[in-house]
Amino acid sequence: MDAVTDALDPALDPAYDPAPMREQYHTSELTERDLAAHPMEQFALWFKEAAGHGAIHEPNAMVVATASPKGRPSARTVLLKHFDARGFVFYTNYDSRKGTELAANPHASLLFPWHPIARQVVVTGRVTRVGRDETAAYFRTRPHGSRLGAWASTQSAPIGSRAELLARYEELAARYPEGTDVPVPPHWGGYLVAPDTVEFWQGHENRLHDRLRYVHEADGDGTAGWRVERLAP
């Protein structure tokens, strides 16, 4: 099959038209008095509930959106690997598309889509690399095969075939058999998203959702604090 196909209209099954697909959410009201003082504390509360809900597969899965210096966006799903008072941490290949975009435009948005409980968390913030010690500590916790995969894949770059990727992996598996130490790739590591805004979205009937957003801002005395605002659904 040629890499480039003719520009023909695709054959679409009308039975799967998304227009009539909808669901009514039956949940409890989310009010300002329900919120913790700090957004990361509130996130910890919601994350605990999401992680304990059997219908949510990979509650730490989040969509990371980045943009090029020209404003062209891209998005992908990655796994949250740590969070604390600083913000949210994930790991990836620095030479990937998201890595090169973050190098030029160090801002991102995160989306946690917890559909079974009609909740979302939406984050915007500035992105920095975590220290190499923090990256190395996490890398050592990864399964052996995942550590090899970080070396084998030139993430986001074109590749000739899957066989090429597997051959590279097998070369690495022979060099670093199970039980041996796999060094951290220099092109691989963590990013910290320090939030500027964190929105907690709770779905309701008739699309009258609750949207409460923490906004980070400086107080009059120069100290930083958080303001909560309600957004129209």
Q: Which positions are catalytic?
A: 207
What is the C-alpha radius of gyration for the chain, rounded to an integer number of angstroms? 21
- Alpha helix ranges (H) inside 105-233: 132-139, 144-152, 162-175
Check residue 14 and report its DSSP letter. Answer: G
101-112-139 Cα angle (round to 5) = 60
Residues 209 and 24 sit within 8 Å (Cβ to Cβ): no
CA-closest candidate to residue 79, choices 56, 57, 60: 60
Q: Residue 200: CB partners within 8 Å, gap ≥ 6?
A: 30, 35, 42, 46, 119, 121, 210, 211, 212, 213
DSSP, collapsed to helix, strand or coil, labels residue 164 as: helix
